[in-house]
Amino acid sequence: MNAIKKILGLVWIGIGVAAAYFLIIDQAIPKFESGKPEDMIPAIIYTFVLAPIIVGGLGIFGYYSLTGEYSDK
SS3 of 21-46: HHHHHHHHHHHHHHCCHHHHHHHHHH
Residue 34 is part of which domain span? 2-67
> How many structural domains compose the chain?
1
pLDDT of residue 72: 80
pTM value is: 0.83
Instruction: Give domain status of residue 11, yes or no.
Output: yes
Instruction: Give domain status of residue 19, yes or no.
Output: yes
Instruction: Give domain status of residue 73, yes or no.
Output: no
Q: Which tens digits make up the pLDDT trace of 29-70?
A: 999 999 898 999 999 999 999 999 999 999 999 999 999 898
Q: Which tens digits make up the pLDDT trace of 1-38?
A: 889 999 999 999 999 999 999 999 999 999 999 989 89
pLDDT of residue 16: 96
**19: enclosing H helix or E strand:** helix 2-21
Coil, strand or helix: which one is 64?
helix
Instruction: Give domain status of residue 72, yes or no.
Output: no
Question: Which has the closest alpha carbon to 9: 72, 66, 67, 58?
Answer: 66
